[in-house]
């Protein structure tokens, strides 16, 4: 039997306590455990204590200055089990708090400390074994106790088992405190935050979720969250979630979510798995971000882009028509007018390759590099004894940089125009080979003329076309090397992307 007259000294230096100690009561209140609903993690420990000590009753009792509250209980009569508390007149646990040490009572009816306690008659408490439950700060919050309704000589092994389980209770209280802090933090985040078990069962939402959806707390747990997803988006959203669960890959999907007023708003759902040291998923953490305003802006920009693209095409048509009309009035300007008109047509062709898909945040390029080359070179193609005079070869790839398309189209047009005037395309049997590829992150294009008029050397005169090419190269950060071989011009262009 431990001598109860010796006060227990806690490592932090606290000796003894009192029921109405203000600091202790403040810590107890801050934990939010008083009057909280039963929790499975605590109920498991009281059941474990009953089995370990073969005791009919076990309690996790939190003691304030007026009562003891049962955070968990096993074996109490229906009345006390439903009440989940007693006044201090019915409390043995208060003595564990004041002594800050374990308490053994073999027969309460004969023990001077508790023989007048009302718990003997009302709760049938005869034998009692209790251990302090401490907070992280060392304050005694109450007692974990085992109770028997007959006299019992508690052993040192009984007390050791009780102390071990009491330490588990303290760990769960600390976990609960940490969870409370995290919930407060997550509730302060403007995004909707949620978490799920490894199998995908969603068991937590922060306050922002309930504020947005207007749902009662807990009503969207499990798979019920789908009820507020737009019916047209449910299959896609569910398939994305199941794919993430089966592969362990991050989850990301856009869908419409019903708010508390019944209006559907676009949301971006994301989740990442939290893994243990062995790589197994312990939990999923996710967010839902309201992106409806962004979606509306994107939709408006899409309308503007399409309208702008249409108007630009009209401008090209009008300008080309004005140039043609002017050339008819002044025949001497026809050659210049044709050259200028051809360049405008090349711009119009390039502009048609830059379109905007519905809902896309940026312009989308239609077709491939070879498609664009083929379109620009189409006016210059003609058969030579059954073969083509313009050959496109090498690696084809999708167009990826809208800002390069117009400049590239103009460069290609100028090369073709010069070839038509002075190079391989100016004669019946001349050919141009355009080879494309990639090297070291650079896009490569090689223009090779063959079968044209013999070139004696580097031309001494540079026309406006070459000046235009240099302007376009500078605009897109590209380089062009030219070699005038006797058989024709070879031009090698390099640019990023």
Range of the domain at 486: 369-497
| Residue 113 contacts residue 39 (beta carbons within 8 Å) | no
CATH number of residue 263's parent domain:
3.30.450.20
Residue 184 within a domain: no
pLDDT digits (tens, 9 = 90+) for 15-66: 346 899 999 999 999 999 999 999 999 999 999 999 999 999 999 999 999 9
Residue 183 within a domain: no
pLDDT digits (tens, 9 = 90+) for 404-460: 777 777 788 888 888 888 889 888 889 999 999 988 778 899 999 998 888 877 777
Structural domain ending residue among the three candidates 366, 391, 407: 366
Output phi, psi for 444, to 5 deg: -115, 140
Which residues does 123 contact at the CB level (< 8 Å), separation at least 6? 76, 77, 80, 86, 90, 147
For residues 389-416, one letter each, b for 16 or more C-beta atoms within 10 angstroms of the residue's C-beta and e for the rest, the string is bbebebeeeebeebebbbbbbbbbbbbb
Looking at the structure, tell me whether residues 342 and 296 fall in a common domain: yes
Distance of CA 154 to the CA centre of its chain: 55
Lowest-confidence pick of 46-50, 106-110, 226-230, 309-313 = 309-313
Residue 168 tokens read as 């588990």
Return the percentage of the chain with pLDDT > 70, whole number. 80
Residue with the two structure tokens 């117009």: 406
Residue 107 within a domain: yes
Does the structure show a pLDDT above 80 at 299?
no
Structural domain ending residue among the three candidates 257, 290, 323: 290
CATH number of residue 145's parent domain:
3.30.450.40
Output phi, psi for 295, to 5 deg: -60, -40
CA of 350: how far to CAs of 178, 315, 408, in Å?
A: 60, 14, 8
Looking at the structure, tell me whether residues 193 and 300 fall in a common domain: no
pLDDT digits (tens, 9 = 90+) for 195-235: 999 999 998 899 999 999 999 988 889 999 999 999 999 99
Distance CA 84, CA 78 (A): 10
Calculate mean pLDDT across residues 345-360: 54
Distance CA 7, CA 18 (A): 12
Residue 316 within a domain: yes
User: Given this model, what pLDDT does residue 346 score?
Assistant: 62
For residues 256-277, one letter each, b for 16 or more C-beta atoms within 10 angstroms of the residue's C-beta and e for the rest, the string is bbbbeeeebbbbbbebbbeeee
User: Given this model, what pLDDT does residue 12 score?
Assistant: 35
| Residue 285 contacts residue 271 (beta carbons within 8 Å) | yes
Closest CA to 134 of 84, 161, 96, 103: 96
Helices and strands: H and E segment counts in the chain: 13, 20
Looking at the structure, tell me whether residues 309 and 440 fall in a common domain: no
Between these two residues, 324 and 85, which has the higher pLDDT value?
Answer: 85
For residues 452-491, one letter each, b for 16 or more C-beta atoms within 10 angstroms of the residue's C-beta and e for the rest, the string is beebeeeeeeeeebbebbeebbeebebebeeebeebbbbb
Residue 14 within a domain: no
What are the strands, taking DSSP E only, across 294-363? 354-355
User: Given this model, what pLDDT does residue 406 score?
Assistant: 72
151: DSSP letter: -
Q: What is the dihedral angle through the alpha carbons of 196, 197, 202, 203, rounded to the nearest 10 degrees?
A: -100
What are the strands, taking DSSP E only, across 149-278? 192-196, 202-205, 251-258, 264-275
Structural domain ending residue among the three candidates 177, 208, 232: 177
Looking at the structure, tell me whether residues 272 and 328 fall in a common domain: no
Q: 187: part of which helix (H) or strand (E)?
A: helix 156-188
Sign of CA dihedral 299, 303, 304, 308: positive
Looking at the structure, tell me whether residues 169 and 224 fall in a common domain: no
Residues in the chain: 497
| Residue 492 contacts residue 443 (beta carbons within 8 Å) | no
Looking at the structure, tell me whether residues 257 and 314 fall in a common domain: no
Does the structure show a pLDDT above 80 at 322?
no
Distance CA 471, CA 479 (A): 11
CA of 462: how far to CAs of 72, 265, 418, 466, in Å?
A: 93, 59, 11, 6
């Amino acid at each position: 039997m431990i001598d109860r007259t010796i006060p227990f000294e806690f490592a932090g230096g606290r000796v003894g306590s009192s029921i109405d100690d203000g600091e202790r009561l403040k810590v107890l209140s801050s934990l939010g455990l008083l009057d909280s609903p039963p929790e499975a993690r605590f109920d498991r420990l009281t059941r474990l204590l009953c089995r370990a000590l073969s005791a009919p009753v076990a309690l996790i009792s939190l003691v304030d200055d007026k009562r003891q509250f049962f955070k968990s209980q096993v074996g109490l009569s229906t009345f006390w089990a439903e009440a989940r508390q007693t006044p201090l007149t019915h409390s043995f646990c208060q003595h564990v708090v004041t002594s800050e040490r374990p308490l053994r009572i073999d027969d309460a009816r004969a023990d001077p400390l508790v023989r007048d306690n009302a718990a003997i008659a009302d709760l049938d408490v005869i034998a009692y074994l209790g251990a302090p439950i401490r907070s992280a700060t060392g304050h005694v919050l109450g007692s974990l106790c085992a109770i028997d309704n007959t006299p019992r000589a508690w052993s040192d092994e009984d007390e050791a088992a009780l102390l071990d389980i009491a330490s588990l209770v303290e760990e769960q209280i600390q976990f609960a405190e940490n969870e409370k802090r995290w919930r407060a933090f997550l509730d302060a985040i403007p995004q909707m935050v949620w978490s799920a078990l490894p199998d995908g069962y969603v068991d937590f939402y922060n306050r922002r979720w309930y504020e947005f959806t207007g749902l009662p707390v807990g009503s969207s747990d499990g798979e019920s969250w789908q009820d507020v997803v737009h019916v047209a988006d449910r299959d896609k959203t569910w398939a994305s979630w199941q794919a993430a669960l089966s592969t362990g890959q991050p989850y990301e999907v856009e869908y419409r979510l019903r708010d508390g007023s019944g209006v559907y708003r676009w949301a971006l759902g994301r989740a990442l798995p939290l893994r243990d040291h062995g790589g197994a998923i312990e939990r999923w953490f996710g967010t839902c971000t309201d992106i409806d305003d962004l979606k509306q802006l994107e939709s408006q920009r899409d309308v503007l882009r399409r309208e702008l693209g249409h108007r630009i095409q009209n401008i090209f048509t009008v300008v080309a028509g004005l140039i043609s009309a002017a050339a008819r009035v002044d025949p001497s300007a026809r050659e210049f007018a044709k050259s200028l008109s051809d360049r405008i047509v090349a711009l119009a062709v390039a502009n048609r390759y830059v379109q905007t898909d519905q809902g896309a945040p940026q312009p989308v390029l239609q077709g491939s590099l070879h498609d664009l080359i083929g379109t620009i070179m189409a006016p210059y193609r003609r058969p030579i004894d059954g073969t083509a005079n313009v050959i496109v070869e090498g690696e084809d790839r999708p167009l990826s940089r809208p800002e390069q398309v117009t400049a590239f189209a103009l460069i290609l047009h100028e090369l073709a125009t010069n070839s038509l005037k002075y190079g391989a395309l100016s004669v019946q049997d001349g050919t141009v080979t355009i080879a494309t590829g990639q090297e070291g992150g650079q896009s490569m294009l090689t223009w090779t003329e063959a079968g044209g008029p013999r070139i004696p050397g580097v031309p001494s005169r540079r026309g406006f076309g070459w000046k235009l090419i240099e302007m376009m190269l500078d605009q897109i950060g590209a380089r062009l090397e030219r070699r005038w071989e006797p058989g024709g011009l070879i031009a090698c262009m390099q640019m990023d992307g």
